[in-house]
Structure formats: structure tokens, C-alpha cells
Chains A and B, each alone.
Chain A
Amino acid sequence: MDSLLARCCPSCSHSPSNPCRNFVRCRTEGPLCHSSPSCSAARKRRIEEIVSGSRPRVKVAVASCTIAAGALEVLKAVREVSKELGLEVVKVGCSGLCFLDPWIELSAPGMPPAIFGNVDPSDVEKIIRDYLDGDVSKAYAIRYRTGRARDEDRVPTLDERPEWRLQVRYVSRNCGVVDPESLEHYIALGGYRGLERAFELGPEGVIEEIRRAGLRGRGGAGFPTWLKWKLCRERESDEKFVVANADEGDPGAYMNRLLAESDPFRIIEGLTIAGYAVGASKGYIFVRAEKRLMAERLERAVEEARKWGLLGKNILGTGFSFDIEVVLSGGAFVCGEETALLAAIEGRIPRPRQRPPYPVERGLWGKPTVINNVETLAHVATILAEGWESFAKYGTEKSRGTKMFCVTGSVRRTGAYEVPLGTSIRTLVEVIAGGSDSRIKAVQVGGPSGGCIPYELLDLPLDYESLQSVGAIMGSGGIVVIDESRCMVDVARFFTSFVVAESCGKCVPCRVGTRILQQILDRVVSGEATPEDLEVLEELGEAIKACSLCGLGMTAPNPVLSTLKHFRREYEAHVYERRCPSKTCVRLVRFEIDRSRCIGCGSCQRVCPASAVERRGSTYFIDSSKCIRCGACEVSCPVGAVVRV
């Protein structure tokens, strides 16, 4: 059998034009339409082949993150070796263990599947030959033990590694496991059972299932998904729409991209279920501009689903017709806001508008529209397939289930991790992501709309309400770890300049207010601010939150307000002592030459644009009255003798 999706023998009558209700079960547990032991054995064998492989196999992680780390070169090397040795090569998405990029996974009958990280193309051949020889000693981890490899005990299994053991891979179960371009893989691993079950439950039953699961939106405010759907379902209209928000604008969060690049069919299945539940005939996936590969994989997945009758007219013979279009954004943070996103799809300038009316009342072209984050939708597909209990058993009373978080910044193991809500930030950052080589000062949660949480509060559980109580938000789940070397005022200023650049300009509090915040912060980092300025920051921040038109403005002051609250001393040092405690703010530091380290090469003098560097005997000296603090000398010094004081 070439493909599970194809007909096993002429007795099978299913085709997209002659659809059958039990397509998915028929292909995986069947055949159901006719009885044939040989057909069903062939199907079982094919699934086994996909899951475990029938011959030695190399999986290469090919996603934006691994490509940036050199995965395409690794893939090329793998292909060459595999051709010679007769291995099967499978491109998979990314598992979220980004610190391993680029990585490959080897398996062979009887051998423990082994993952090798930070692979250099020139090592590929040796890794593969050694593995086939029964040697896994250089692996980062093995999936399970078989006792067949040499010194197997010295290599941990994935579950023995904290970054894996403490995760619950619910929605990300397929990431880094399946070929994201293959519908067959997805279905072999249980895909599209959710949609089949949705058809059995009926639209109201689906909404009830999601209500029981307790799923809340994974894209921002945590609105209950079932309620949004119910409100939309109840509206009378000749046409309705569902939209997947894949705009992922938080700079430094990439779990949506990872999910869509690694398991795109799950999102498409989720969106189809949403369409069925609310009675929509068309869905859109709105993808962020920079994320080209994500859009490509989603588009390909849509075509594939259409080809097999899982999108289009009369899906699986149920009478339900639904299709999806992938729209590539032009890139603007505010487009993630739902009303702006709708305007962008319609081809208008994406400026948010007043709500209410909410999109469930008046959405795309004035018709009722549901907008959900892509992770929310992927959860929907999983919940429908596995039953609401499988989801609701994780998490806390009010924040149920699991969520993906991206941990970046000053940590040892940057990655995208899925954990039950209610897990503490400390567990995520210090255990799973391995803590930092330097001392952690704070974590920033929720991107430009979020806030900074000081190290002392790291035991805080990750749930919607706890995060809000300290001035942060869940957002899409980006967590940036900040160490002692960074200045918190500078961090606040970074996010503030971000929202200044991204404000759509429609309402005054956001357009003008954030600019004034930025100007004050500029004064603080230059040592020119007054004590009153700090009060203005607070007052103005509150005013912007209260008066802005959309979520962008309403959350824009969070980075400033949360740092003012938790790191006021750092602000005060800039204002009262004209000093930046972490020596980040160049206007408040002096550059000096450490004579004990200086080798007298003179490169600092040559690069100084202000002629502030003078020769003094065998060493150099910086005249701080002439210095413009550009830092060029610091960079040019080959021995690190230019220091900040």
C-alpha cells in the first residue's frame, strides 16, 4: 500500500466526489466499507511503517528555526549518506527544543530512536554510521530503551531529561514527530478523528464539549472559546466566517509558528470544527508576514485536505461545506487585534475599531465572525479527538489544560515548551529551560502588552489571573529571561518604542500618550529626568490604559508600569544619581581604558569619530569631555581593555 489515504482495493468506493462518513476510521482501523483481512493487514502495516519505520530512518527537523541554524545543509548531507546506505529520510517539523538546532533523529528496527543535537553537516556521515553500528553514545537523548545499543545506559531517555519530563505534550504531540506536509502521517497518528467526532456530536454538542473542557483563548485575553462560538452560532445570518489568528506579533514568541510549521493539519482540522460548530462556510488563516514557511506549509496543507475531501463541498458526506483561504499579512503588530485583522483581510487599512459590536455580531463584511488563535484551534481538534476530560484534567480550576510557552533571552535552553497551566514560572525557567549562566533579574511575560516579573515572584503560577495580578498578561505565551546585565528602564523603553512604532494612530491616548512615555524614558536613560517625570509616567500610563480604543493602547503601558512597580530603585538611580546600575545606558557610563590589559595597538584611537582617544606613553586614554559614547572603541579593542565605569 503506497498511501493510507488511497483506496486499498477496487471494493473501496470512497472518493472526494463520492465521500463516505467513516473515511478516517476506515483508513486507520478499517476498511469498514468492505471486509477483507488482507486490506486491513495492509493498512495496519502501513501505519506501523509510518510510526516506527520498517527500515533505518533519519528524521531531519526542517522548520524556520532549524533552517536558520543550518538544517538545509544538514539535510543535504543526510540525503547523500542515506542514498548510499539505503536509509529513509523524513522531513519533520520542530520539537521545540531549540537549543538543539539543527537536530536529527535516527531509528532502526530494534535500536532505540536517538536524537542528535547541534549537528554539523560534516559530522552527519559519522553519526549515521556509528548509529547503524550500534553506538548512540553521542546522542542528546534516546526515546526509549531497547538494550540493543552499546553503552545505552549512559545516554538519558527524553523522559529522564527535565526539559522533556515536565512537559505535557498535548497540542504539540506531533511537533518534530510527523512530516508536516503529509496528511497521511497526520491521519495515521490519529488526525481528523476530532472532526469525525464533531460530526457525531453535532454543532451544539461540539460547543458543549469545548465548554466542559474549559478551553480559554490562547491568543490573548483568555476568553472562553465555547461562549464565543455560542454567541456566533446564535446570530441569524446568511453567511458566517471563522478566522484563525496566526499573526503572532509578539517579537520573541514563536509557538504559533512552530505549531503551524510542524503540525499544520491540526490547525486546519480545528478551524474546520469551529466552522461546523458556528455554521460558517468559509475560514481564513491570517499569517504574519515574516513567517513565510508557516504560510507555505499551511497553504500546502489546505490543498492536501481539499484533495482528499476534508475541505470543500459536502465534507465526508455530511452535507457540511467549508473551505479555507490562507492570507499573508503585510506585517503590522496591530493586525493581531481582531477588528484590525478583519480590516486587513478585507483589503482595508488595518486600524482597529470600537467594540462592541464584537466580531461575533459584526465581523468580516459585516457578518458574524469567530476569531481564534491557532493554538486554541489546535487544542479544539485535540479535545474533540480525545474527549474533554483529557484536557480538563490538566491545569487549574479557572485555567484548564496546557499551553505552549517560548522561553528566550538569558537561559541555557531556549525553547518552546508545553506545560499545564498553573506550572510555576520558576519550574519553566529554571528547571525546564535550565536557568541562566548569569543571575536572573526578571522575566518578561506577554511581549509588548505584558509586564516584567521580578525574580522574587518567580513562584507565581502561569495562569491568566495570577499573571494579571502582577501587571503582566498571558498574551501568546512569550517569556523573556532578563539577567543582571540588563537595565530594566532600557527594557521598558524597548517595548515602549515598539508600541510607538506600531500604534495605528487612530486614538490620541495611544498615539500621543505612548510617545510621551517614550520621551520621558529617553530622558531617564540619559540622566535628564526629574522626580516628577516618574510620577507622570505612572499617571499617564494609567490614563492610556483607561482611554485607549483597542487592546494595543490598553496594554501598552504595562512594561513601564510593571517595571516602575517592581524595579523603582533602578529608575531612581537614573534620576537621582544619574547612574545606570547595570551599565547599559551609554549616556550614563564613562568609557575608560584598563591599562593593565591594554596592549597599545591603537585601534581605539583609529576608530574614534570624536578624536577623544589620546596616546599616553605606551597606552591610551579617553578624554571623557570629548567622548560621544558611541562605543566604537569598545568594539574595536581586541583584548577587551575598554571598560564601562
Chain B
Amino acid sequence: MDPALLVDELVQRFGPKRESLLRILWGVQRAFGYIPREALEALSAKLSIPLSELIGVASFFHAFKLSKPAPINIVLCMGTACHVRGNSENLRLLKAMNLESRGIGIETARCFGCCSRAPVIAIVEGSGRILKLFGGVTPSKLRLVVSEATKLVGGSRG
């Protein structure tokens, strides 16, 4: 779908006012998995808000991505419970594995809300959908996560 058309539709649905901004941005993010620049440009014209300011708002929030995410991402919870149970180590180890070259993105999140299973790692699709969630990830279980992600990358390409 054309980002500008979607923006038209969202503006119509939520009203051409500034207070609809968060809802509209969510609409775009959900449709594309990120917020394409063309969408912001269209929105700027529609709401008469300078593009710079829209980028300011969109980039201030963590949930909005301004570039297209990898098709498969390993997302580590960096909440407190997951940190004290070892996810920072896991992150360091994953970063050393050079997974980007295999088409796997590495991202962090702040608390998946299941701290009882800390440390938690999820495999997340480009659209933001969680495909798999792993709890109690010890460094040795980390290999399982990586091989699962590698399999999924293969799947999403094939």
C-alpha cells in the first residue's frame, strides 16, 4: 500500500488534528512495521506540522521505527529482572556472533512482562509479531535461540 494513501485514510478516521498524531503513527507502524519517510511527509502536509517536528515526535518514542527492520530479529529483554539474571551477558555474546550478516537483527526491549521467566529472549518478525519466546535463557540455551532464528530466516526467504 502507498504510505500516503494510508495516511489519508488514518487522518480521515482519527481527525485532522494534532492530538490524533499518536494514533496515526501507530496505524502506519502497524501497517508497515516501521514509519516510512513518505508517510511522515504526507502527514506533514495533511496536518500542517513541519516535517522536522514530526520526525522529532516519531524518533522520540521507542516503539516507532524510522527504518525497515530485519525480517527476523532476536529481541532481548533489557528489563531489570532480565538484566540481573544475565541478559546483558547474552547480548554481549550475541553481538559477538555477527548475526547481522545472516540477516538476523538484534534488538532490545524493556520488559516483556513475564519477569518470572527471566532472562527472556524473543524472536520477532519484521512486523513486530512475536514468533517465539524463550525463558530462562542461559548462555548454553542461547545456541538454541540462534539456531531457531537461523531456521526462521531460511523459512522467510524460501
- Interface residue ranges, A against B (CB under 8 Å): 64-65, 68-69, 98-99, 101, 250-252, 254, 257, 289-291, 327-332, 344-350, 406, 408-410, 414-415, 444, 447, 478, 480, 482, 486, 491, 494-495, 504, 586, 609, 630-632, 634-635, 638
Asked if residues A409 and B80 are in contact (CB atoms below 8 Å), the reply is yes
Residues of chain B within 8 A of A491, CB atoms compared: 83-84
Q: Which B residues lie within 8 Å of A630 (CB)? A: 92-93, 96
- B114 contact from A64, A444, A494, A495, Cβ within 8 A: A64
> Which of B1-9, B99-107, B138-146, B150-158 lies on the face that meets chain A?
B138-146
What's the nearest-Cβ distance from chain A to residue B13, in Å? 14
User: Contact: A68 with B93, CB < 8 Å?
Assistant: no
Bound CA span A349–B83, Å: 29
Q: Are B61 and A480 touching (Cβ within 8 A)? A: no
> How many residues of B sit at the interface, in one of the four size bands?
35 or more
Docked-complex contact A494 and B143, CB < 8 angstroms: no
Roughly how many angstroms separate A504 CA and B19 CA in the complex, as a whole number? 20
State how many angstroms separate the Cβ of B146 from the closest Cβ of chain A: 10
Q: Is the CB of A251 within 8 A of B78?
A: yes
Q: Can you report 5 residue pairs joining A to B where beta carbons are below 8 Å apart?
A: A69-B117, A101-B114, A251-B78, A350-B61, A482-B84
Q: What residue of chain B has the Cβ atom nearest to residue A250's Cβ?
A: B80
Partner among B84, B112, B135, B139 whose Cβ is within 8 Å of the Cβ of A410: B84
A630 to B96, CA, bound (A): 7
**Cα(A349)–Cα(B81), bound, Å:** 29
- Contact indicator per residue, chain B 91-129, by CB within 8 Å of chain A (1) or not (0): 011001100000000000111111111101000000000
Assuming A330-B64, A349-B53, A350-B60, is B115 touching A414 (CB within 8 A)?
yes
Q: Contact at A330–B113, with CB atoms within 8 Å?
A: no
Chain A: CB-nearest residue to B53: A349
- Nearest to A486 among chain B residues (CB) is B84
CA of A406 to CA of B118, assembled, Å: 14
Q: Does B76 contact A (CB under 8 A)?
A: no
- A252 to B18, Cβ gap below 8 A? no
By beta carbon, the residue of chain B nearest A257 is B113
Which secondary structure dominates chain B's binding surface? Answer: helix
CA distance A524 to B60 in the complex (A): 30
Closest beta carbon of chain B to A184's beta carbon, Å: 27
> Is the C-beta of B89 less than 8 angstroms from some C-beta in chain A?
yes
Tell whether, in the assembled complex, residue B143 and residue A635 are in contact, meaning their CB atoms are under 8 Å apart.
yes
Q: A123 to B60, alpha carbons, bound, how many Å? A: 46
Instruction: For B49, give the chain A residue with the smallest CB separation.
Output: A347
Cβ-defined contact, B80 with A635, below 8 A? no
How far is B62's CA from A486's CA once the two chains are assembled, in angstroms? 28
- Which of A68, A290, A415, A504 has the largest count of B CB atoms less than 10 A from its CB? A68
Known: A68-B135, A329-B22, A331-B61. A98 touches B116 (CB 8 A): yes
Chain B, residues 16-36, CB within 8 Å of chain A (1/0): the string is: 011111110110000000000
Known: A68-B114, A251-B79, A289-B62. 15 other contacts (CB 8 A): A68-B112, A68-B133, A101-B114, A257-B113, A290-B110, A290-B112, A330-B22, A330-B57, A346-B18, A350-B60, A409-B115, A409-B118, A491-B84, A494-B80, A631-B96
Q: When chains A and B are docked, how far (Å) is the Cα of A350 from the Cα of B59?
A: 11
A495 and B83 CA atoms in complex are apart in Å by: 10
Query: 6 smallest A-B Cβ distances: which pairs?
Result: A330-B61, A252-B80, A414-B116, A68-B114, A347-B21, A408-B81
Known: A328-B22, A330-B62, A346-B18. A65 touches B79 (CB 8 A): no
User: Could you tell me the distance in whole angstroms from the C-beta of B99 to the nearest C-beta in chain A?
Assistant: 13
Chain A residues with CB under 8 Å of B83's CB are 491, 494
Name the residue on A nearest B60 (C-beta).
A349
Instruction: Identify which of residues 31-68 in chain B touch chain A, using a CB-to-CB cut-off of 8 Å.
Output: 53, 56-58, 60-64
Instruction: Flag if B117 contacts A252 (CB, 8 Å).
Output: no
Give the docked Cα–Cα distance between A349 and B118 (Å). 33
Which residues from chain B contact A65 at a C-beta distance below 8 Å?
113-114, 116
Partner of B84, one of A68, A409, A447: A409
Residues of A within 8 A of B115 (CB): 98, 252, 254, 406, 408-409, 414
The answer to whether A478 and B63 have CB atoms under 8 Å apart is no
The listed residue (A332, A345, A632) touching B62 by CB distance below 8 A is A332
Within the complex, the shortest CB–CB distance from A96 to chain B, in Å, comes to: 10
Please judge, given known A-B contacts A68-B113, A68-B135, A332-B60, whether A347 and B92 are in contact too, CB under 8 Å: no
Q: Is the CB of B111 within 8 A of A632?
A: no
